Amino acid sequence: MRQLKDIAKAVKAPITEAHEGVSVYGVKTLKNANEGSISFLSNSKYASDAERTGATAVLVSPKDAAFLPAHVIPLVVDNPYAAFAVALTMFHPAPKAIAGIHSSAVIHADAAVAPSAEIGPYVVIEEGVTVAENCIIDSHVVLKKGTSIGEGTRIGSGSVLQKTTVGAHCLFHSGVKTGQDGFGFAPTDTGVIKVPQVGGVVIGNHVELGANCTIDCGALDDTIIGDGCKLDNQVQIAHNVKIGMFCMIAGQAGIAGSTTLGNGIIVGGQSAIAGHLSIADGTTLAGRSGVTKSITNPGETWGGLPALPIREWRRMNATLMRMMKSRNKGK
């Protein structure tokens, strides 16, 4: 149970004195909300749900507040979706570490594990690894040599990290693999020679990696993931890739070796970016894009295969559709 005034304060929404004493017990969708719950409207496509909602209060933008029925208390904010995230966190805070090491964990004598860290069942921590204060290392995690985990970070079950430096307050979901060899091979007349992969992985602060993400170590220099990046499930980052701050990469996307992404880039699901390219700050890639050349102008949206500026891609598709229709009419 939360006081509405506390939620309003957290999301910086104005609230009248008459509503300060109202209590709410949870966050629900507009369609399923009932008395005592709080909801949000971030897309006017759901205006009809807002008009019929049973919620006690709704987080809403100034332009959409008129959709709410009279019984609903509007919490007017500029970004309802972000405010929803804050409110939801108030009801479902992230778990805090419960200090202790499970009896089945195997920890090398020369590893440094902070007293406040929580180490789960069957964890393996090798020589020289450091685990900072208030970390949670879930069951069956393997932290191999050359790895350090920053304060307040949680590593999900079944993850394997090696040669990896992880910043503070990160969240890795189950099955993440970092620091394994990149795809480095030199073809010769007599076969293929493996190129040793001797670099590491450096991951910034407040980074979230989805389940089964894979991030290769660098061949010589490190693979780098900047502060605040969010990677969805099953994203593949190849060796020597460098990703700037606050990038978001959706599921099953892949980035080939030695490509550099700027800051604030959004990569749609199942997109592929070829190696040795540079992608400018603020670029957005539509889902299933295939990027084969560098993108140099900041803030553009690209799509298609091979990827083009989005307007060019749409014009090309429209032209192809007209040609097909014209051909079909001629049959």
Cα–Cα distance for residue pair 204/213, rounded to 1 Å = 16
Count the helix, strand and coil residues of the chain and give each as a percent rounded to the nearest 5.
20, 30, 55
Q: Rounded to the nearest 5°, which phi and psi values hold at 148?
A: -140, 140
Length of the chain in terms of residues written: 331
In the set 19, 140, 239, 276, the catalytic residue is 239
Q: How far is CA 82 from CA 34, 40, 42, 54, 77, in A?
A: 22, 10, 9, 22, 9
Radius of gyration, alpha carbons of the chain: 24
DSSP assignment letter at 323: H
Kindly give, in sequence order, each residue whose CB lies less than 8 Å from that of residue 329, ignoring residues fewer than 6 positions away.
none
Q: How far is CA 99 from CA 20, 80, 113, 133, in A?
A: 37, 36, 11, 9
Report which of 297, 326, 328, 325 is spatially closest to residue 312, judged by C-alpha positions.
297
DSSP assignment letter at 157: T
Helix, strand or coil for residue 35? coil
**206 has catalytic annotation:** no
Whether 221 contacts 188, CB under 8 Å: no
Catalytic residue numbers read 239
